């Protein structure tokens, strides 16, 4: 079983071209169960999943994330959202007073969401599906409007699932010595930087734009904070 999992991970590719065959409800339940069983901090489970199968909704999601056609064409979109609406209500019922979610709630939930979506992806690939992760944090409140999400529910990741209609090449990864250290960080950052730079050679301009000043990362942070405020999160940082 362990060998099968390692082989599954080794063979992963992001799939952006899908067959039209829908994902049966029985497979959806298995994939969602894998996500449900993922570990979360303090067992809070501050995440909700919406399975989007409606073609019209998928087209609207595709437009919201920059007209990415594969979002519309994937027969199943699993939208993972940080969900403090349900936790807030549970808190109210247990304590009879209100909880205003803050950044201290959002950030651990975001980590949990990443773990849960990863487990779902592995489950989907084990069933023979192709998957692709799509970031929703470039426009979370627009996605929220499309899916009619309540306050304190912030969509962050869309996992596309379907039978593959392509077999893309593996994308390069950092060499192991730039990833793994034992007992101390090694080699030095300067060496790691030199080692990993060739990995970005084919898309160097994108790499520089994404992490550079006023780049994609800065824009997504701004939009995420705007959405958090609109959705009822306290984004102030307590000193």
Q: Which H or E element spans position 5?
A: helix 2-10
Question: Higher confidence at residue 91 or residue 2?
Answer: 91
Q: Which H or E element spans position 158?
A: strand 153-162
Instruction: Say yes or no to pLDDT of 90 above 60.
Output: yes
- Rounded average pLDDT over 28-47: 97
Q: Give the model's confidence band at 173: pLDDT under 50 very low, under 70 low, under 90 confident, else very high.
A: very high
- Rounded average pLDDT over 204-225: 92
- Rounded average pLDDT over 9-38: 96
- pTM, rounded to two decimals: 0.94
Instruction: Say yes or no to pLDDT of 31 above 70.
Output: yes
User: Cα–Cα distances in Å, from 65 out to 167, 186, 213?
Assistant: 24, 38, 21
Instruction: Say yes or no to pLDDT of 1 above 60.
Output: no
53 phi and psi angles, rounded to 5 deg: -115, -20
Contact assessment for residue 152 and residue 85, using Cβ atoms and an 8 Å cutoff: yes
Q: What is the pLDDT of residues 138-151, one digit of tens each?
A: 899 999 999 999 99
CATH 2.60.40.3120 fits 2-170, yes or no: no
């Amino acid at each position: 079983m362990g060998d099968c999992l390692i082989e599954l991970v080794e063979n992963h590719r992001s799939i952006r071209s899908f067959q039209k065959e829908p994902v049966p409800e029985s497979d959806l339940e298995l994939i969602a169960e894998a996500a449900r069983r993922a570990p979360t901090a303090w067992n809070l489970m501050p995440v909700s999943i919406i399975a989007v199968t409606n073609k019209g909704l998928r087209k609207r999601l595709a437009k919201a994330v920059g007209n990415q056609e594969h979002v519309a064409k994937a027969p199943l979109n699993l939208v993972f959202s940080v969900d403090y609406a349900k936790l807030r209500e549970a808190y109210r019922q247990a304590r009879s007073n209100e909880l205003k979610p803050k950044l201290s709630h959002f950030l651990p939930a975001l980590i949990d969401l990443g773990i849960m979506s990863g487990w779902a992806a592995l489950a989907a690939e084990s069933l023979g599906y192709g998957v692709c992760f799509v970031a929703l944090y470039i426009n979370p409140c627009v996605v929220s409007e499309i899916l009619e999400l309540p306050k304190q529910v912030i969509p962050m990741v869309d996992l596309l699932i379907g039978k593959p209609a392509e077999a893309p090449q593996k994308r390069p990864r950092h060499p192991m010595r730039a990833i793994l250290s034992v007992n101390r960080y090694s080699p030095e950052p300067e060496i790691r930087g030199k080692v990993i730079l060739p990995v970005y050679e084919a898309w160097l301009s994108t790499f520089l734009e994404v992490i550079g000043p006023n780049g994609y990362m800065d824009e997504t942070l701004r939009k995420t904070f705007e959405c958090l405020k609109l959705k009822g999160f306290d984004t102030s940082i307590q000193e």
